[in-house]
Structure 1
Amino acid sequence: MLLLLLGLLLGVPGAATFVVQLWGSCALAPNGSVPGFTLGFNGAPLVCYEPGAPGRAVPCAPVELGGIAEALAQALSMNPAWRQRMRERERACTHLRPHSIGGLGSAPPQARITSSSSRDPSVPMLLTCHVWGFYPPSVTVLWLHNGDLVTPGDEPPPVVPNGDLTYQTQLSLMAAPAHGDTFTCSVQHPALDQPLFVDWGHGLPPTLVVKVVAATVVMLLGIGVFAFGLHRYWAPAPALWKGGTFAALRMRNRK
């Protein structure tokens, strides 16, 4: 019936082909899950569910479709099937709360920095700070160069959902690092008591330095063992004719 109403409203002479979508979601929050329900037209939201007013639909369409969205919202709000579906959606979202992240609906972010070469000779290095595993999706990612804040861009990086209800994002920086420079990725999130800092230095990272030192020590020990064995192999055997050993052998041969 609702789709028929939409078709009648849009079925004017010369109207182009259109697509109607219906989708639902559960937005997690620290105090539980909030159901969402949307009727879309050609990929754009048309009628939305209003949390806190069970079964009530409100227009969420652009201005050019405002009249159609208002008519559909009123029809949906008075439709028993819609109200029943909303109650079922609320129960389904409520069941998600015990399985929310950490049982509290929040998770702290993790971060690491990767580097790659760029095509610009003046700024040959592209540093990317990858941030993932956090909830809620509100996060602030900044770059610091030797402790000084790098001016952020006009728009914050997009936050993308993961399949496990957490989110991820990344922020890149074009840089021309000199020896001794340190670039730091700063991550601020409600689940963190203090900002998370991840450093990138122009040189070997600390873990790689430890591996290089350990490999050098093992190599030196191997060279020492090899030199000692080689010395023992080529050293002349003790002369049997010296002292009493040679005399004892001569007397035994005479007998």
Structure 2
Amino acid sequence: MNHIAVLLFSLGVCAVHCGSHTLEYHIALVSSPAPGVPQSTITVYIDGLKYGKYDSETRRARFLTPSLSSLTEHLDMQTKYAQRFEVIQKHKMAFLTGYLNRTYGNGDFHVYQRRFACELHEDGTVSGYEEIAYNGKEVMMFDKERVVYVPVTQEVLTMTQQWNQHYNDAKINKIYMENECIHYMKMYLPYISTDLERKVHPEVKVSSSESVSGTKLHCRVYGFYPRDVDVKWIKNERDEIYSEEAAQILPNPDGTYQIRVSVEVTPEEGATYSCHVDHSSLAKPLAVCFEPSDRLIVYIMVAVAAVLSFTLVALGIFAYKARKKKGLNKMTEIAFGKATTLPVTH
């Protein structure tokens, strides 16, 4: 049963790195399915191309690229594997919930995620990885060298030990990772080579929003393929502005990707801000300048006026106190007979 379940990993997600290929799959289960959100899903890719999917509503594995449509018998076999694999993963989610509900609780709604990958490198060597998460937090990972699952934090140490004893499928997963997974990857690649060479240039939109601490500039890059992209904000055409927010590349329903990079700035008179995008579909990096809207200009003018008004008020108060203090000192000298001259009165 475990071996059958592991074969499902032939439905996977891939990323290209220096001529290598990666087959990776994402499994997700939710404790309480909702309309449009199946209880179980398996989304699959090769080299960043989403090529297959299975969900508990249709209970069918399906190819998402026409180039693989001729592999009908193989798809039927994958459907059977997926149906059996889904049952096993439900048991594993229940196992995690029993241990982690208090530690990683999320009310009555829980999410189990699993990511498995095999990698074929340019020199012919193979590798891979596996990660398991619960309610959005990674709890275990597969140690391929020791052939065992290891905890990500000490608080799940006992649970991970129980997991290894209860399921005991680490050796099977390693065998699959280095053999069957690579075999299926090589089988798919000739069919989808044209799809993998597809390049879609990104669309870029810049905008801003106001916060208590200042102005936030947003650069949204969307509709691009393949996945790898470099996005950064540049001030005055030379200084990179580093973002404190971690930007994530997210998939779109059509197989392309999107990302948003935001930075916080204090607008300066004469300063320019531009979003620079570098992607394999572009002949040269793309720079999109941020043009402040009339509303933002008003905000800046109001801010400058407020600072100027505050400065003038502060100077006025300072001058008033200085004059008042000088007058009091003079009166004190008169009262104690220390003044050398008397004030002239009219």
- TM-score, normalised to structure 1, is 0.48
- TM-score, normalised to structure 2, is 0.38
